[in-house]
Structure 1
Amino acid sequence: MASPRVLRPFLDHRGILNRRTAEEAGWRPDALRRAVRREGLTALGRSWIVDERATPEVAWAAELGGWVTCLTAAAMLGWWQPPAADDRPHIVLPRSARRKPEGVHAHWSIGLVPRSSRSLLDPVENVLFLVASCVPFDDALAVWESALRVGSVTREHLALVPWRGEQARRLADAATHLSDSGLESLMAGRLRRRGVRVVQQPVIGGRPVDGLVGARLVYQIDGFAHHSDPRQRRSDIAHDRLLRSLGYTVLRFDYREIVHEWPRVEAEIIRAMVHGLHLAH
């Protein structure tokens, strides 16, 4: 007697399978039901089969007939997350949804791009659009720039999308590839909104610096690597000494200062400018 056909290999890398996709691969509905029971899989909603790899937010979307979107989709795509991000799963629900479930941040947007019935993840353009309307501008800019940084989208594409809403259009104009991290995006965006002209990633003393204000005021941002890698820390300190010997003022800030103590950070930079430390000698 032949061994029963195995369904698990048909699931994608996130542990998800659309029923119609399975049927097109030759699975009959009765065989699907038996395989789900036999292999310890889970049927969700009318359209989905998942295994233990499926994350809770994906399971929510499958059960509700929606799509993972906004900050939750951004996290799945490897984009930066705002420090105060809503930890509820962001799910865009179809217009026909009869309820708004508790514990879910529900979106009802039609979207800029049609959503596929074969995917549980909102298209990138829709994700960016909902981020634009869901979080403050500075945080949204950091998310958009991280999408550019990981290659989920390009500047050229952003310029061609017919964005709805003033904030999304402003983000499409402002987002660049220059930031190496969400913290860099956050800091540069806040300073520019304050009216400070910032040049990101200029090479000074043989290495790029995070930001240059005016001609002589450098700021550097200490991320996790600065604290976890002693060699990186020694290299950074040595580069700071070189910059000072060349006549630059160097200000260093870490995650906590930028995220939780921004008024003090901004005041320190403005004070340095008032003292003329950003001007060429």
Structure 2
Amino acid sequence: MKKPMVDAARGAARVRDLLVTGVSRHAIGVAVDRGELIRVRKGWVAARDADPLLIAAARDGVILTCVTQATRRGLWDVGLADPHVAAPPHAGHIAASGHVHWEKPAVPRVPGTLEDPIENVLAIVARCQPRDTALSIWNSALHRGLVDLDMLRRLPLTESGRALIDEATPFSDSGLESVVVPRLRWLDLPLRRQTWIAGHRVDLLIGECLVLQIDGGHHVGMQRTRDIEHDARVMLLGYHVIRVGYDQVMNRWAEVQDVILRAVAQGLHRRG
């Protein structure tokens, strides 16, 4: 089967870049006439089944970045509907919808690219998002091995990015974890992430035996059943389990904190 000039994975491409690879203008025109490609704007074409976000970025002359690109890379999704895109600092009028970032990138962008590299994504997230949200995305990138702290330290980051380097860790598997731990440090109790208990890791161990389990969007169906079974095994070992979800942590934190404080007040974080 003939490989498409612009496949869905690439989304869209500049005509000049296709010409460099040996594709002729005539072939591009034929592909457009056959409906295999669509003309996005002057000098740009896209696969008909390409990601609408990539097509929009090509149309508007911007680059997907910040929380939008973080979500596309499989990092923690903060649930923002409006796209975050980047434009050159000295670009003219940009008609893109959503939030436009104009700052100079930490890593130079290849001409014609529509997606920011992970280093730029994290640098912009650090400036754009609240600290706990940004830390969640950074930890998610580190945990997945998309970037490492030593490399981030060598980048020309802003003060907000430098502050996150001191807090970020590759050992956090949950964005919600990264939100919760900074909010509980004032308790002045041991807070151990990803501790192995009863054959599986728990999200957070507070003190000696108070377990906080944090459910993301994937905790449904069989996963939910396995979580409940594990909770029972953990409690049989003498631990106390508090299980909370995304909405509770992000939108009703005062309620979650109140439950934890009442558990601590009763000494449920201590053995004996």
Task: Summarize the Cα distance change of 1:188–1:173 in structure 2 as closer, same or farther, 3 Å threshold.
Answer: same
Deviations 1:144-201 (A, max 9, x none): 1222233322233333333222x21122222222222222222223323665541011
Structure 2 residue 10 is the aligned partner of structure 1 residue 11: no
State the identity %.
39
Residue of structure 2 aligned with 1:246, choices 230, 237, 242: 237
- Are residues 251 and 16 of structure 1, via their aligned partners in 2, closer, same or farther at CA, if it must alter by over 3 Å? same
**Residue 62 in structure 1 maps to residue 58 in structure 2:** yes
**Distance in 1 between residues matched to 2:98 and 2:218, nearest whole Å:** 34
Alignment correspondent of 1:88: 82
Which is further off, 31-40 or 57-66?
A: 31-40
Select 2:75's aligned residue among 76, 79, 93: 79
| SS of match in other structure, 2:220 | helix
Taking a change above 3 Å as real, the CA distance of residues 30 and 204 of structure 1, as seen in their structure-2 partners, is closer
> How far apart, CA to CA, are the structure 1 residues paired with 2:17 and 2:78?
35
Instruction: Say which SS state the counterpart of residue 131 (structure 1) adopts.
Output: helix
> Which blocks of at least 5 consecutive residues in structure 2 are unaligned?
none
Specify the alignment match of 1:180 in structure 2: 173
Corresponding residue of 1:189: 182
Aligned residues: 270
Superposition deviation, residue 112 in structure 1: 0.5
Equivalent positions of 1:201-280 (< 5 A) are 201-229=194-222, 232-280=223-271
| Structure 2 match to 1:161 | 155
Cα distance in 2 for residues equivalent to 1:135 and 1:158: 18
> One-letter code of the match for 2:32?
V
**3-state DSSP class of the match of 2:244?**
strand
CA contact (8 A) 2:57 2:64 kept: yes
Q: State the one-letter code of the partner of 1:201.
A: Q
Return the letter of the residue paired with 2:227: D
Work out whether residues 60 and 96 of structure 2, in 8 Å CA contact, stay in contact via their aligned partners in 1: no
Structure 1: unaligned runs, 5 residues or longer: 1-5
Shift of the alpha carbon at 1:31? 4.5
Give the Cα separation in 2 of the matches to 1:22 and 1:241: 58
Instruction: Give me the whole-angstrom Cα distance separating, in 2, the residues matched to 1:75 and 1:225.
Output: 15
Cα deviations by residue, 1:6-50 (Å, 9 ceiling, x for unpaired): 8x6221423322322211122344553344334442223444210
Cα deviation, residue 90, structure 1: 1.5
Given that 1:202 and 1:211 are in contact with CA atoms closer than 8 Å, whether structure 2 keeps it comes out as yes
Correspondence 1:134 to 2:125: no
Helix, strand or coil at the partner of 1:17? strand
1:14–1:53: 8 Å Cα contact kept in structure 2?
no
RMSD: 2.5
1:52 aligns with 2:71: no
State the distance in 2 between where 1:134 and 1:196 align: 31
TM-score with structure 2 length normalisation?
Answer: 0.87
Q: Does 1:107 align with 2:98?
A: no
What is the alpha-carbon distance in structure 2 between the residues aligned to residue 125 and residue 225 of structure 1?
27
